[in-house]
Structure 1
Amino acid sequence: MLIEFIILLGLALFIFYKWSTSTFDFFEKIGIPYDKPFPLFGSQKDIVLRKSSMYDNVNRLYKQFNTSIAGVFDQRNPTFIIRDPEVLKQITIKDFDHFVNHRQVFSVEDDELFGNALSNLHNEKWKAMRSTLSPVFTGSKMRQMFVLINEVAHESMKYLKKDGKAEIDFNIKDYFTHFTNDVIASAVFGLQINSFKDEDNEFYAMGKKVTKFSFWQNMKFLLFTNFKYIMRAFKMSLFSQKYTTYFTRLVLDTMKYRQEHKIVRPDMINMMMEAKGLYIDKEPNEKPSALAREWSDNEIVAQFFVFFFAGFEPTAVLMSFASHELMVNPDVQERLRQEIQDVKENLNGKPLTYEVLQSMKYMDMVVSETLRRWPPAVVTDRQCNKDFHYKDDEIDVTIKVGQHLWIPIVGYHLDERYFSDPLKFDPERFSDENKGSILPFTYLPFGVGPRNCIANRFALMEAKAMLFYLVGEFEIRPSPNSTIPMVLEKGIVNPAPKNGFWSKLVPLKS
Structure 2
Amino acid sequence: MEFFIEPLYIGFFVSGLSFLAVVHWYFNGNFNYWKKKGVPYLKPEPFFGNLRDLTLLRTSTAEMFQKLYHEFEGHPFAGLYQSRTPALLLRDPELIKIFLAKDFQHSQHRGFKLDEKRDPLTANIFTLGGPRWRILRTKLTPSFTSVKIKQMFHLMEECSETLQSFLLESAKRGEEVELKEVLAKFSTDIIGTCAFGIQSNSMTDPDSEFRKMGRKMFDPTIASALRKYMQLFLPTLAKILNVSIIGKEVTRFFTSVVKETVEYREKHGVMRNDFLQLLMQLRTQIRSDVAAAGNKNEERFVFHRWFHLLVDQKELSIDPGLVQHFFDHSWHSIGSLKLQGVELCFVVIETLYQKIQAIFEI
1:74 maps onto 2:54 in alignment: no
Say which of 249, 252, 257 aligns to 1:245. 252
1:200 maps onto 2:207 in alignment: yes
2:351 matched residue in structure 1: none
**Matched residues in 2 for 1:242 and 1:236: separation?**
13
Cα deviation for residue 172 of structure 1 reads 0.4
- Tell me the SS of whatever aligns to 2:78: strand
Letter of the 1:130 counterpart? R
Distance 1:51 1:246, change over 3 A: closer
- Tell me the SS of whatever aligns to 1:187: helix
Q: How does 1:15-30 map to 2 (within 5 A)?
A: 15-30=22-37
1:146 maps onto 2:164 in alignment: no
Say which of 27, 37, 47 aligns to 2:44. 37
Q: How does 1:71-220 map to 2 (within 5 A)?
A: 71-115=79-123, 117-165=124-172, 167-220=174-227
Cα deviation for residue 292 of structure 1 reads 12
Distance 1:101 1:160, change over 3 A: same
> Between Structure 1 and Structure 2, whose CA radius of gyration is higher?
2
**Matched residues in 1 for 2:36 and 2:170: separation?**
66
- Number of aligned residue pairs: 286
Cα deviation for residue 51 of structure 1 reads 5.7
2:276 matched residue in structure 1: 269
**Post-superposition CA distance 1:412-454 (Å, at most 9, x none):** xxxxxxxxxxxxxxxxxxxxxxxxxxxxxxxxxxxxxxxxxxx
**Post-superposition CA distance 1:37-83 (Å, at most 9, x none):** 01110111233456655434322322222221211111111111111
Preserved CA contact (<8 Å) 1:109 1:232: no
Preserved CA contact (<8 Å) 2:55 2:229: no
Letter of the 2:214 counterpart? G
Preserved CA contact (<8 Å) 2:57 2:220: no
Q: Which of structures 1 and 2 has the larger relative contact order (alpha carbons within 8 angstroms, sep 6+)?
A: 1
Cα deviation for residue 237 of structure 1 reads 2.1
Distance 1:292 1:78, change over 3 A: farther
Cα deviation for residue 194 of structure 1 reads 1.9
Give the structure-2-normalised TM-score. Answer: 0.72
**Matched residues in 2 for 1:269 and 1:52: separation?**
34
- Tell me the SS of whatever aligns to 1:19: helix
Letter of the 1:73 counterpart? Y
Say which of 256, 263, 267 aligns to 1:256. 263
Distance 1:146 1:291, change over 3 A: farther
**Matched residues in 1 for 2:82 and 2:167: separation?**
43
Letter of the 1:263 counterpart? V
Distance 1:17 1:191, change over 3 A: same
1:390 matched residue in structure 2: none
Cα deviation for residue 29 of structure 1 reads 1.0
Cα deviation for residue 90 of structure 1 reads 0.8
Preserved CA contact (<8 Å) 2:98 2:104: yes
Letter of the 2:65 counterpart? V
Cα deviation for residue 225 of structure 1 reads 2.1
Q: CA RMSD in A?
A: 2.8
Q: Would you tell me which structure has more strand in proportion to its own residues?
A: 1
Cα deviation for residue 163 of structure 1 reads 4.7
- Tell me the SS of whatever aligns to 1:263: coil
Give the structure-1-normalised TM-score. Answer: 0.52
**Matched residues in 1 for 2:221 and 2:292: separation?**
37
- Which 5+ residue runs of structure 2 have no aligned equivalent? 294-311, 313-362
Cα deviation for residue 272 of structure 1 reads 1.0
Preserved CA contact (<8 Å) 1:128 1:292: no
Q: Would you tell me which structure has more helix in proportion to its own residues?
A: 2
